[in-house]
Structure 1
Amino acid sequence: MNQIKIRLSAMMFLQFFVWGSWFVTLGTFLGNNLGATGSQIGMAFSTQSWGAIIAPFVIGLIADRYFNAERILGILHVLGALLMYQMYVSADFTAFYPYVLAYMITYMPTLALVNSIAFRQMENPSEEFSKIRVWGTIGWIAAGLVISYLFSWDAPGAISSGLLKNTFIMSAASSLILGLFSFTLPATPPGIAKGEKLLLKDILGLDALRLLKDRNFAVFFFSSVLICIPLAFYYQNANPFLSEMGVANPTGKMTIGQVSEVGFMLLLPIFLSRYGIKKTLLFGMLAWVLRYLMFAFGNNEELVVMLLLGIALHGICYDFFFVSGQIYTDSKAGDKFKSSAQGMITLATYGVGMLVGFWVAGQITDFYALEAGHDWRGVWVVPAGFALMVFFAFMLTFRSEDIKYEK
């Protein structure tokens, strides 16, 4: 691995260590330490979506036009570290919410930026990207292991004594490190020449919308929006669900999903080559259905293996739909608007779809709330059924095609 790839791998590791340091346990923290309701927890998670909705405009206006992507990445992560500290010192949900909203507005554009920086350094992204992106997964795993097994911040006693909020300090420190490190990354200049005339659509970052004229990409785009509705249930409810079911070290056990993600990330180029983009995306969507059914009918006793298998399916769920979708989007975008295209797919997945999904998940969670805990079978059957409908709709409307890079 050459020096540039090592630096890109470190960038990915820190990018997802920052996120995994606090996001997995957010629902558990808010419910147990700030007394938040299911709807309020949904509001907190939906800040991710508002950030993702704004991200394409930030990327389209700035990264593709005026400033180097690595410099914007550094500034956003330094600012994010300051906001994360404010989340750490917040005493109630009312004080906490504005900071988590501001943080997500700064963080979500960085997902597209790290992809853009990585893609610009590659000659064959369909072969090279997964080997760099896998280090982001390793970063997420490391964060979960630190929380559960090094510090035990998610143990029942630690949660009740307020130690779980230390995850925000860990995230703030790692965000500051990444911010400073970003200024050493390979220069990634704007994709549009300075002298090129800018129209209103350019200023608003709407160039990537031209991709929707491609029927297949339009089907993929809207399927991405819809499949993220059930995805929101996992992000919002998985950690509280495992904690409530009595699973020991829930955050650490959730890293099983990321370990699986590492394996399937490395297998992704083989699947794309052998089965094509359509079947790869379908494998990913079907895995969401199976995962939620395992959560619905498993338990922490004789059927605990179903819970663990449901977590382990994360590798297929995430890699085969979201990472392959990023590669597919990059192949459609051409050289000129790679950052805008990545920002637009971030809007589709983490933005609009999950904004609706977090709201629905909050409402469903409150609906199935009991005096002591929740009727989790009822909660999980809803996203399983929805994911199945998206699976069939995509299968019938998306035409098989090979990934070919357009210039």
Structure 2
Amino acid sequence: MASLGKDALDASRRPASGMLMGRLSALMFMQFFVWGAWNVTLGLVMQTVGIGSLIANAFSVGPIASIAGSFLLGMAATRYLSPRALMVALHLVGGAILLAMPLLVKPETGGTFVWLLLGYMILYMPTVGLANTIALKSFGERADRFPFVRAFGTLGWIVAGLIIGWMGLSASPEIFRVAAIVSIALGLYSLTLPNVEPDAPRDAGLVRQVLCVEAFGLMRQRSYLIFILAATLISVPLAMYYAYASAYLGAAGIENVGGTMAIGQMSELVFMFSMPWLYRRFGVKPLLLVGMAAWALRYALFAIGDGGGSLWAIYLGVALHGVCYDFFFVAGAIYTGTIASPKGVNAQAQGMLTLFTYGVGMLLGSQIGGLLYAQLPAAQTIADWQHMWWYPAIAAAVIAVLFQLFFQDDSRGEAAA
């Protein structure tokens, strides 16, 4: 009992330390730097080396890993192993894999590259949840400080893109070596992180938690079911942006693709801090609608943008990322918490939302995008790319209209009740 009292006292004191804030901010910065260093321009790299036909498969491994890795390692293994120990092991092994990646990014070993990327992402995806777990448990009751620390993750993604662009590596397989160096550094740095305890086993049982059985029950509410369907569908065009935007920017004649793509994350950072206030002020439905409309507008801008007088449309489309992402996915996470918290299944519900968006939705989007990309000629022109972007633009607009017609926000009424 004395030990439990001491642990609780330590947890309450930790947030008061500016040193702890700095340590956790550095954790988030490196965590997302590793991902952003290679993910942003991978499509351009693959097209440049002649394996553009495999872009869809390469961007399908993330959703698959999000399902397999995050649930099996992130939710199960952390019940028995220290999150810090897992961070050390996963980032060190992942860094070694990243070092080998550039040797395989070529036509004769393209298939092997995709399989190795899948193996790497199964290791990496759980570390996102592990980093969040370490930060939240370290803050104890002051979890309200988490958004500030998490913002450094977005900053790390931005800096990674800027560095890749500044080094002239946007179209080079060497992006993986940059990520590898930071991954190994993060693995070593993780040795110094707070050694928070694994989650205590719950009475619900491991299988029920991993499969989010209680969270799936939330979809008995019509409003939440419609939201989940819309979130899954809107993730389809989202996947096309991640997979093909960098190749499109390269075709438009933009040289610093990594730096240009970072503009989107800069806008994301701005809206992330304002999202709690906007949610309280306007409620969930207006924010979700604005987010979906922004996706449609972004792709329409890509469909009219070129390397000449309409270059502004491309930059504006990239800059809309903050509205596209925060107004739908961040607001959606807050809405999910509002629905799930009274039932005590918030963590499961957030995992279920990740399953449908970053898992099912983005997997479908990667494969559908691959089918559309396969229709482009071998030597694509900017006109070919413009034609392709109309498909996700129309899809996002249709989803927004259907959402407006059928979604009714009842979360405020339930909260009041």
Shared fold per TM-score greater than 0.5: yes
- Report whether the alignment pairs 1:49 with 2:63: yes
- Counterpart of 2:387 (choices 365, 375, 378) is 378
Name the counterpart of 1:181. Answer: 189
Letter matched to residue 406 of structure 2: T
Shift in Å at residue 51 of structure 1? Answer: 0.4
- Counterpart of 2:114 (choices 79, 94, 97) is 97
Secondary structure (helix, strand or coil) at the match of 2:193 reads coil
* CA shift digits 1:87-116 (9 cap, x unpaired): 122252022122101011112222333334
Name the counterpart of 2:156. Answer: 139
- Report whether the alignment pairs 1:284 with 2:284: no
Name the counterpart of 2:28. Answer: 12
- Give the TM-score of the pair, scaled to structure 1: 0.87
When residues 348 and 204 of structure 1 are mapped into structure 2, their CA distance, relative to the original with a 3 A threshold, is closer
What number of residue pairs does the alignment pair up? 392
When residues 110 and 199 of structure 1 are mapped into structure 2, their CA distance, relative to the original with a 3 A threshold, is closer
Which 10-residue stretch deviates more, 79-88 or 310-319?
79-88
When residues 360 and 320 of structure 1 are mapped into structure 2, their CA distance, relative to the original with a 3 A threshold, is same
Secondary structure (helix, strand or coil) at the match of 2:169 reads coil
1:199 & 1:394 partners in 2: Cα distance? 35
1:119 & 1:329 partners in 2: Cα distance? 18
* CA shift digits 1:58-95 (9 cap, x unpaired): 333223x3334343333322221122122122252022
Secondary structure (helix, strand or coil) at the match of 2:297 reads helix
Shift in Å at residue 234 of structure 1? Answer: 0.6
Name the counterpart of 1:387. Answer: 396
Shift in Å at residue 188 of structure 1? Answer: 4.1
State which structure, 1 or 2, has the greater radius of gyration over its C-alpha atoms: 2
Letter matched to residue 116 of structure 2: Y
Name the counterpart of 1:241. Answer: 248
Name the counterpart of 1:115. Answer: 132
- Counterpart of 1:22 (choices 38, 42, 62) is 38
Q: Which has the higher contact order (CA 8 A, sep 6+)?
A: 1
Letter matched to residue 71 of structure 2: P
1:198 & 1:387 partners in 2: Cα distance? 39
1:172 & 1:325 partners in 2: Cα distance? 32
Q: Identity rate of aligned residues, in percent?
A: 38
- Counterpart of 1:232 (choices 232, 239, 246) is 239
- Give the TM-score of the pair, scaled to structure 2: 0.86
Letter matched to residue 261 of structure 2: M
Shift in Å at residue 199 of structure 1? Answer: 6.2
Name the counterpart of 1:152. Answer: 168
When residues 75 and 346 of structure 1 are mapped into structure 2, their CA distance, relative to the original with a 3 A threshold, is farther
Shift in Å at residue 29 of structure 1? Answer: 1.2
Letter matched to residue 110 of structure 1: T
When residues 203 and 230 of structure 1 are mapped into structure 2, their CA distance, relative to the original with a 3 A threshold, is closer
Name the counterpart of 1:87. Answer: 101
- Report whether the alignment pairs 1:274 with 2:288: no
Is residue 212–residue 349 contact of structure 2 (8 Å, CA) maintained in 1? no
Shift in Å at residue 352 of structure 1? Answer: 0.6
| RMSD, matched Cα | 2.6
Secondary structure (helix, strand or coil) at the match of 1:165 reads coil
- Counterpart of 2:86 (choices 60, 72, 78) is 72
When residues 191 and 221 of structure 1 are mapped into structure 2, their CA distance, relative to the original with a 3 A threshold, is farther
- Counterpart of 1:366 (choices 343, 366, 374) is 374
Letter matched to residue 111 of structure 1: V
Q: Which blocks of at least 5 consecutive residues in structure 1 are unaligned?
A: none
Name the counterpart of 2:9. Answer: none
